[in-house]
Structures are given as structure tokens and as C-alpha cells.
Amino acid sequence: MRIGALALEPVYDGYGQEPAHEVLSRPGVPDAWACHGHLLDDAGNLELTLGGFLLRTAGRVVLIDAGVGTINNDKYHGGQFLESLHALGVAPGDVTDVVFTHLHFDHVGWATKKGQVVFPNATYRVHRADWAHFVEGPGAEPGAVRKLSPLTDRLETFEADTTLAPGLDTRHVPGHTPGSTVFVVSSEGERALLLGDVAHSTVELTDPTWEAVFDVDPAAAKKVRAELADAATDRSDVLAAAHFPSGRLVTVEGERRFRFI
């Protein structure tokens, strides 16, 4: 995908499957998925693409999120990230920056492997609130600590919204996690919003009253989704989510719809 003069490429790692009615719901609507069966598989599962994005800008090679890693169980099937990067002409040593939308396991899988940093020449960046929540705080998750602690010496955190590289800016959107970040890629008047897990399915963008069981602060996450959807509808901005194909929000016959590109 071209965003002005910049190339933004998806990096595929694998896929996940979650029972849709267990992970996404609309309060007060028991059968909310009845009108959205086309988004599910035959067993009623929501299929989630896993991976990240590759951005080349000003001589930098930037990864936005790092897939699920080598996990292969009954729900999540990873392992293809490095192969996908190779197909794009990138070796691990070529990566200069790795930035995380947030620190859930399916976004940091290739940050390290068996305690070793996978991208040895990269600086790793994430919002300070997520590092505190997952790695350093009193409620830190042991799995996240093991996975992410090897990054400490090459880690840079940010708090205020900032520019990380030419054409790559941060927007703090707490809710899904305390430090959840949308990355804005922009060039020549065009923009793509890399949403992370602001939404796991298009239904959350066409109707932000949906709730995700994964959200740390459901009320804040719902507010973020509503504001983002309102601002993006009927605009040229590309919405590039972590778990479903990119597209735009448009109004059709008075209803908001997500149009894949």
C-alpha cells in the first residue's frame, strides 16, 4: 500500500480464532452477531490476522508490531513473520526500529525468542504506560516480563504524542491497554491510521457500542473507537487494523460501513 511517497506493507505471521460471541458483544443485544455472520467462519469464530506492518522512511526500516511469534495452539497459529519479512527483502539485522501499538502477546511475539533479541540493531519503542502496566508495575504479567525484559537496554518509551520518524507519528488512545497507541503514517497529504487493537473487527468501527472482552478499560476503549470512527468516516484516511484487512469508513444510504481496499 502506498501512502503518498511511503510504502506501508503488511507482514503476515499467522492467524488466530476466537469464538465471536465470547470476545465481542453489544450490551443489551443478546444475538448481536446475527446480522454479521459473513464476518465469521462456519463455527462462529472470528478469524484474526496476526502480524505487523513494515514502513521504510528516510533510510529507516520500521516494524509496527511484531506478530505472535512461534505460538501454535488451538487458537493461535504463528511462525511466519521472519519469512514474510524476507519476502519483502528485509533481514532481521536490517530493521532499525520496532514500535508497538501495545504489549499484548500477539503483538510482541518476535521481539525476542528464547530470551534473545530478534532484531539486533533495532531500537524498540512503546508508550510508557504500557511498559509500566505489563513489565514494571505491581501487576506485571510474568509472560510479558520474560518476553520483553531483554529489550530494556535498547528500549525508548514515550508519553506525549510525538514524531518517531519522518512520516510516523504517535497518538495515545488508552482503553484497550493503558498505553495503546495509534500510529499515523502520512506523506503528500495522504494518511494511514495503524489502529492496533482499537478494533478487532469492523463491527466495532461501524457501531462503536460493541465491547471487547480484551479491553482493560471498556468505557475508555469505547470512547476512543467512537471518536476515531466519527473522525474517519467519509474521509480518505486508510484504517489499517491489526486483525483484519485495511479499508475506509464510508456512509452508504445513511449507514456507516467499512469498505475494504
Give pTM, 2 decimals: 0.97
* pLDDT for 170: 98
* pLDDT for 135: 98
The whole-number average pLDDT for the span 211-221 is: 96
Which whole-number Å values give the CA distances from 242 to 13, 100, 147, 239, 252, in the listed order?
11, 11, 20, 10, 25
The whole-number average pLDDT for the span 24-41 is: 93
* pLDDT for 37: 93
Are the beta carbons of 211 and 218 closer than 8 angstroms? yes
The mean pLDDT of the chain is 97
| pLDDT tens, residue by residue, 125-153 | 999 999 999 999 888 999 999 999 999 99
Distance between CA atoms of residues 36 and 3, nearest Å: 30
Give the type of residue at 1.
Answer: M
Architecture, CATH, for domain 2-19+39-260: 4-Layer Sandwich (3.60)
Record the cell numbers describing residue 223, joined without a space: 470512547
| pLDDT tens, residue by residue, 58-116 | 999 999 999 999 999 999 999 999 999 999 999 999 999 999 999 999 999 999 999 99
Binned at pLDDT 50, 70 and 90, residue 40 comes out as very high
